[in-house]
Amino acid sequence: MGSLADKRALITGGASGIGRATALLFAREGAAVAVVDLDDDKGQAVVREVADGGGQAIFVRCDVSLLADCQRAVQETVDKLGGLDILFNNAGIIRRATVIDTTEEEWDRVMAVNVKSIFLLSKYAVPVMEKAGGGVIINTASGWGLVGGANAVSYCASKGAVVNMTRAMALDHGAQNIRVNCICPGDTDTGMLRTEARQLGESEEYFLAEAANRPLRRIGRPEEIAQAALYLASDASSFVTGATLVVDGGGLAG
- pLDDT digit string (tens) for 233-252? 999 999 999 999 999 999 99
Closest CA to 209 of 220, 218, 201: 218
Does residue 157 lie within any of the structural domains?
yes
Q: What is the pLDDT of residue 254?
A: 85
- pLDDT digit string (tens) for 69-102? 999 999 999 999 999 999 999 999 999 999 999 9
Q: What is the pLDDT of residue 243?
A: 98
Does residue 40 lie within any of the structural domains?
yes
Does residue 210 lie within any of the structural domains?
no
- pLDDT digit string (tens) for 155-209? 999 999 999 999 999 999 999 999 999 999 999 999 999 999 999 999 999 999 9
The band of 1, judged by pLDDT with boundaries at 50, 70 and 90, is low
Contact partners, residue 165, CB within 8 Å, separation at least 6? 115, 118, 119, 139
- pLDDT digit string (tens) for 26-67? 999 999 999 999 999 999 999 999 999 999 999 999 999 999
User: Does the active-site annotation cover 155?
Assistant: yes
| Domain that includes residue 236, residue range | 8-186+222-247
Does residue 49 lie within any of the structural domains?
yes
Does residue 75 lie within any of the structural domains?
yes
Is residue 5 scored above 70 in pLDDT? yes
| Mean pLDDT on 124-145 | 98
Q: What is the pLDDT of residue 175?
A: 98
Does residue 19 lie within any of the structural domains?
yes
Is residue 122 scored above 80 in pLDDT? yes
| Domain CATH for 71 | 3.40.50.720
Q: What is the pLDDT of residue 2?
A: 83
Distance, in Å, from the CA atom of 90 to the CA atom of 159, rounded to the nearest integer, reads: 11
Phi/psi zone of residue 177: left (φ > 0), alpha (ψ -120 to 50 degrees), beta? left
Does residue 173 lie within any of the structural domains?
yes
> 124, 155, 206, 231: which one is catalytic?
155
Distance, in Å, from the CA atom of 204 to the CA atom of 140, rounded to the nearest integer, reads: 24
Does residue 195 lie within any of the structural domains?
no
State how far the alpha carbon of 57 is from the alpha carbons of 1, 116, 146, in Å: 17, 25, 33
Q: How far apart are the first and last CA of the chain?
A: 40
Buried b / exposed e across 3-14, counting CB within 10 Å, b at 16+? bbeebbbbbbbb
Distance, in Å, from the CA atom of 13 to the CA atom of 22, rounded to the nearest integer, reads: 10
The band of 10, judged by pLDDT with boundaries at 50, 70 and 90, is very high
Can you give the C-alpha Rg of the chain in angstroms? 17
Q: Structural domain tally of the chain? A: 1
| Mean pLDDT on 95-113 | 98
